[in-house]
Chain A
Amino acid sequence: MERDYLLEFLLYIGTPNFPISLVKYFSSLPKALLVTLEVTIGATIIALLIGLLLALMRVSKSKYLYYPAGILIYIGRCVPLPPLQLLVYLSITTYILMEPKIAGIIAIGLFTIPYMAELFRSGIQDVSIGMKEAGMSLGMSKWVLAKRIIVPVAVRTMLPAIGQLMVGTMINSAFVSQIGAKDITGMARNIINAFFSTELWIVVAVTYFLIAFPLSRALNWLERRIAIVQ
C-alpha cells in the first residue's frame, strides 16, 4: 500500500482534525483580521487623543495641571490589562448593552494611554533648546514657535515610536478574545475548542508574527531614515 507521507507528517505534528481546522481557520481569517485591525486602530485613536491631552498637561507650567497628569500616568502604568478589560466590559454592560469588540477597544485604549502620553512628552521635551531659542530670537510668538518648530520636529521623532506602540497594541489586542470578541485569537479558540486541535495555536502565533515583524522592521527603517541629527 502506498504511504501518504503528507498525512503521516500532519498526524505526527497534530491531531487528526488538524487539516480541517486549518481550512476553517484560513477561511475565516479575513473577517477575524478585520476585527483585530479595528480594535488596534480604535484603541490607538483613543490613546492618541487622551495621551496628547495628558502630555500637554504634563509639560505645562501650571502645577494644577502637571501634578494630576503625572499621578495619572504613574498610576496608569501599573494597571494590568486583564482586570481592566473585564472591569470596563462588565461595568458598562451592567447599564447598556454593548458589543465585546467595542468594550475591548475602550479597555485597550485606556491601557495604552499612559505609554502614549509618555511618548508624547518625551517627543515634545526632546526638541532641543537651541532650536526653540533660535525661533524666539527671530521674534516668533509662542503659537508660531509651536506651529513652525516644535510640532514638525516632535512629529518626526515620534512617528516611528507611535508606530511601534501600535504594533504592540495589535499584539495586546489578542486579549479581547477573552470577553468574546471574534478577533484572530477568539476565532481560533472557537475552532480549537470544536476540533481539539491545539497545534492551531502555532499557526495563530505565526499569523501574528507575519503581521508584526515586517511592520516593526519597516518602522525601524523609517526611524533611521527620518531621524534628525540634532
Chain B
Amino acid sequence: MELLINFWEWTTPDMMRSLVNVLKVLVVCSFTTIIWALFIVLMRISKFFIFRWLAVSYIELFRGTPLIVQILIIFNYLPHFGIVLSSFQAAVLSLTLNAGGYLAESYRSGFQAVPLGQKEAALALGMSKIRAIIRVDVPVAFRIVMPAIGNIVVSILLTTPFIYLVGMGDLMMRANELMRLTLNWSVYAYITFIYIIVGLILTWFNYTLEKKMRLP
C-alpha cells in the first residue's frame, strides 16, 4: 500500500518528460535500426566476399560485446578522434548499432524464406537484379520478418535504460537523481512498472499486427 502511494507521488511532470525522452529515443532508434539492419543484411547475402566478411564481423562484434561497453566507447572514446556527439545522438547511435546486429540475423532468415519461384519469375520478366530485390524480395520478406521487427522494438525498449550512461534525461537518470535526493528505492519499482506497461502495450500491438500481416 505504501508502495502504491509512492507510485502516485512519483508521477510528476518531470517524470513524464523523461518518459517522453525515452519514447523519442525508442521511435528514432526503431526507424534507424530497421534501415541499418537492411543495409547490413544486403551486405551479408551479397556475392562479394569482402562485403560478406564485413557484415559477419560486424554482427559478431556487436553481439559479442556488452552494450554498456559499446555505449562508453561511443561516448567516451570517439571524442578522442574529434567525433563529439550530443547525448541524444550517442544514445541513438549506440542502440542502433547494437540492435542492428540482432535484427540483421532475423532479416537473413526472412530473406531465405522468400520462395525462389517468385524471384525467378521477376527475373524472367526482365527485371534487373537490384529491381527484383527491391520489388519482390523486400516486400515479401518484410511481411515475413514483421514479428522480428516487433520483437526488436521491444528489445530496444529494454535497452533504453542504459542510455542514462550518456546523460540523456531519461527515466533511469531521473530515478537515479530522485534516489540520491530521497533515498527511497521504490522509485526503481516505479520505473520498472512504467517500462512493463509500455512493453506490454508494444507486445500487444506487435501481436495484433502480426495477426493482420500474416501471409495467406
Chain A residues proximal to chain B, CB less than 8 Å = 14, 74-75, 77-84, 86-87, 90-91, 94, 171-172, 174-175, 177-178, 185, 198-199, 201-202, 204-205, 208-209, 212-213, 216
Contacts and interface: CB of A to CB of B under 8 A. Distances in A.
11 contacts: A77-B203, A78-B198, A78-B200, A80-B158, A84-B192, A185-B68, A185-B69, A202-B77, A209-B64, A216-B60, A216-B64
Given A81-B158, A81-B161, A213-B64, A86 B185 contact: yes
Contacts, number: 111
A92 to B, nearest CB: 10
Main secondary structure on chain B at its contact with chain A? helix
Interface string B78-117: 0010000000000000000000000000000000000000
Interface in B159-185: 159-162, 164, 171-172, 175, 179, 185
A198 B61 contact: no
Interface residues of B, number: 38
A89 B64 CA distance: 26
A185 B172 CA distance: 20
Contacts of A87: 185, 188-189, 192
Given A75-B196, A178-B68, 8 more contacts: A77-B203, A78-B157, A83-B172, A87-B192, A174-B66, A174-B68, A209-B64, A212-B63
Contacts of B199: 77-79
Nearest to A172: B66
A160 to B, nearest CB: 16
A86 B172 CA distance: 10
Given A78-B154, A174-B66, A83 B73 contact: no
B195 interface: yes
Nearest to B184: A90
Given A80-B192, A175-B68, A94 B185 contact: yes
Contact of A201 (B64, B73, B159, B175): B73
Contacts of A74: 200, 203
Contacts of B185: 86-87, 90-91, 94
B191 interface: yes
A205 B65 contact: yes
A80 B200 contact: no
A82 B165 CA distance: 11
B72 interface: yes
A217 to B, nearest CB: 9
A209 B61 contact: yes
A83 B199 CA distance: 14
Contact of A83 (B67, B77, B161): B161
A84 B210 CA distance: 29
B66 A175 contact: yes
B76 interface: yes
7 tightest A-B contacts by CB? A78-B199, A174-B66, A90-B185, A212-B64, A87-B188, A82-B161, A83-B191
A158 to B, nearest CB: 20
Contacts of A81: 158, 161
Given A75-B200, A172-B66, A202-B73, A82 B164 contact: yes
